[in-house]
């Protein structure tokens, strides 16, 4: 694979407006007037001084290009009305539309396209406006010209590189999400045999690799370029070991494990639900046979029997809730359901006034489910579905924990904790009262271990369940009191709605412990349409 980087868009976009200084703006001709948006002086030059708008400046660029670059739509319209050619090319074959893509000048691009600009026009490198937008991470602009003017978002340039190649190379994860959302091909190879994932791995763009790997298949992870490198090998060769490890892990996850086969009855979702269910049942049997009705222990009193059967009853209830939260829909989001989306294009009709639908963050696009998911939701890589108010995927119930089953999950944890606690206390009481003395020279623990193996096995399993269930219950209780999910706690740096003006953590959904808990207990979830204070205006990352 060639070590040279991809050549980016023409340097014309990087030039400063002509005849303008850093500290002083000098409007001396139609080019500087167009670049700085001085409409009055532009009219003077054209209508009074009779300056031409069809000629280029000293660098070979048109006044229309300078106005388009800086998004002066009114000036763009004026220039067109006074002879400016929307399809005029500079020395590199670029038109004004290419320049709008550099800074995402949507208003100017709209004027150009409505006046005959060719959205598929390419420069000498084969770059179209979609390529330039991808090179500069102008996701909103790219979406606009694709949605409204049907620009081809998967077209290759002269080197066979699509906008997805460019976005991956430059590390613009939001642009990648948009292109994948619109079904851009991950498998296309350029002249060097490289896919977008190859370029993301070469440059060490972590988030770009993550988005591509999660949305792709095994084929994209194993394809080789003309030099014989896979993306994993390329990342390792360039010293990006963290990316190589991630891609290797993603490749392993594409193959079925033994737990996937065991859990095929649970909707095909990998997890340990059958294992946990079996352990609980075995523990209940051990409790009944080795703790309550063991022949070598003292006779069960009425009080001990009451507590013992209370523990068994709690265990049965826990198993019922286990099956319920394991099989229940956690809040899967249906395609375009309740999104108020335009019938022709799902990204033109977004309800920008709904905080639960659109926060202005392109990470809300799900390339796999092809939906604009509500804020606080997330795509589960295991379930391959987007889940509303996603908390986490729990392998022990082989299901996600989300908006519709979180209360069931918490009840299951409560019952599990109480069951394990009652069982532990009854077992310890039975042993202590049944073994008042033991042979000399032998410790009590040693004697119990070898003479009551069934009780010891129960205590070990019960203690493990108590610690696990109690810890999870404590964590969930604290998060419910603050109305925040496990996913938001773990990834709060990625979610801009969880940060205040000073950049510090701020949870806009926290209405106070009492309201948070009462809403959860009554409704089973909190209403994320109601926020404690308006979140900051979101920007694309």
394 catalytic residue (yes or no):
yes
363, 366, 370, 373 alpha-carbon torsion, rounded to 10°: -70
> Do strands 378-380 and 371-372 pair parallel, antiparallel, or not at all (unpaired)?
unpaired
What is the separation of C-alpha 427 from the centre of its chain, rounded to a whole number of angstroms?
46
Which one from 263, 266, 380, 394 is the annotated catalytic residue?
394
What DSSP state is assigned to residue 427? H
Count CB neighbours of 412 within 10 A: 26
Angle formed at CA 409 by CA 406 and CA 413, multiple of 5 degrees = 140
Closest among 37, 91, 40, 42 to 69, alpha carbons compared: 37
d(CA 261, CA 254): 14
What the block records as the tokens of 435 is: 């073994």
The 3-state secondary structure of 80-137 reads HHCCCCCCCCCCCCCCHHHHHHHHCCHHHHHHHHHCCCCCCCCCCCCCCHHHHHHHCC
Length of the chain in residues, anyone? 541
Q: Which of left, alpha, beta for 161 (phi over 0: left; psi -120 to 50: alpha)?
A: beta
What the block records as the tokens of 268 is: 């095909």
DSSP letter string, 334-356: PTTTTS---SS-TTTS--TT-TT
d(CA 413, CA 420): 10
* Residues with a known catalytic role: 394
């Amino acid at each position: 694979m060639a070590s040279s980087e991809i050549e980016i868009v023409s340097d014309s976009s990087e030039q400063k407006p002509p005849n303008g200084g850093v500290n002083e703006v000098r409007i001396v001709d139609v080019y500087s007037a167009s670049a700085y948006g001085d409409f009055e002086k532009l009219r003077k030059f054209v209508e009074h001084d009779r300056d031409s708008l069809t000629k280029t400046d000293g660098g070979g660029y048109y006044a229309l290009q300078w106005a388009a670059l800086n998004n002066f739509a009114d000036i763009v319209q004026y220039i067109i009305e006074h002879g400016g050619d929307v399809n005029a090319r500079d020395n590199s074959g670029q038109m004004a539309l290419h320049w709008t893509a550099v800074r995402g000048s949507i208003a100017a691009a709209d004027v150009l396209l409505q006046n005959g600009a060719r959205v598929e026009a390419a420069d000498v490198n084969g770059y179209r406006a979609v390529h330039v937008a991808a090179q500069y991470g102008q996701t909103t602009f790219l979406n606009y010209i694709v949605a409204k003017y049907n620009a081809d978002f998967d077209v290759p340039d002269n080197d066979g590189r699509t906008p997805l190649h460019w976005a991956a190379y430059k590390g613009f994860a939001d642009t990648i999400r948009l292109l994948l959302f619109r079904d851009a091909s991950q498998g296309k190879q350029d002249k060097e045999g490289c896919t977008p994932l190859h370029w993301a791995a070469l440059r060490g763009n972590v988030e770009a690799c993550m988005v591509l790997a999660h949305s792709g298949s095994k084929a994209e992870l194993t394809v080789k370029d003309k030099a014989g490198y896979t993306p994993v090998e390329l990342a390792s060769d360039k010293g990006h070991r963290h990316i190589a490890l991630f891609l290797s892990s993603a490749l392993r996850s594409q193959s079925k494990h033994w737990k996937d086969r065991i859990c095929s009855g649970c909707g095909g979702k990998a997890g340990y639900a059958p294992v946990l269910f079996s352990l609980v049942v075995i523990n209940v049997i051990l409790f009944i046979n080795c703790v309550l009705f063991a022949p070598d222990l003292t006779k069960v009193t009425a009080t001990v029997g009451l507590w013992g059967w209370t523990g068994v009853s709690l265990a049965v209830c826990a198993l019922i809730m286990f099956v319920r939260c394991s099989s229940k829909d956690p809040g899967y989001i249906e395609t375009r359901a309740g999104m108020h989306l335009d019938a022709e294009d799902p990204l033109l009709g977004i309800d920008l006034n709904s905080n639960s639908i659109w926060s202005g963050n392109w990470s809300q696009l799900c390339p796999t489910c092809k939906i604009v998911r509500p804020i606080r939701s997330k795509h589960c890589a295991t379930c391959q579905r987007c889940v509303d108010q996603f908390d986490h995927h729990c392998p022990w119930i082989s299901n996600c924990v989300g908006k519709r089953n979180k209360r069931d999950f918490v009840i299951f944890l409560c019952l599990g904790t109480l069951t394990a606690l009652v069982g532990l206390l009854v077992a310890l009481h039975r042993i202590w009262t049944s073994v008042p003395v033991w042979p000399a020279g032998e410790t009590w623990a040693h004697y119990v271990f070898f003479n009551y193996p069934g009780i010891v096995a129960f205590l070990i399993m019960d203690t493990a369940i108590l610690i696990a269930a109690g810890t999870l219950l404590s964590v969930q209780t604290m998060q419910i009191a603050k109305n925040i999910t496990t996913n938001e706690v773990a990834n709060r740096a990625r979610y801009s709605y969880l940060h205040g003006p000073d950049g510090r953590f701020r949870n806009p959904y926290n209405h106070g412990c009492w309201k948070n808990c009462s809403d959860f207990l009554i409704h089973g979830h909190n209403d994320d349409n109601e926020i404690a204070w308006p979140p900051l205006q979101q920007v694309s990352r």
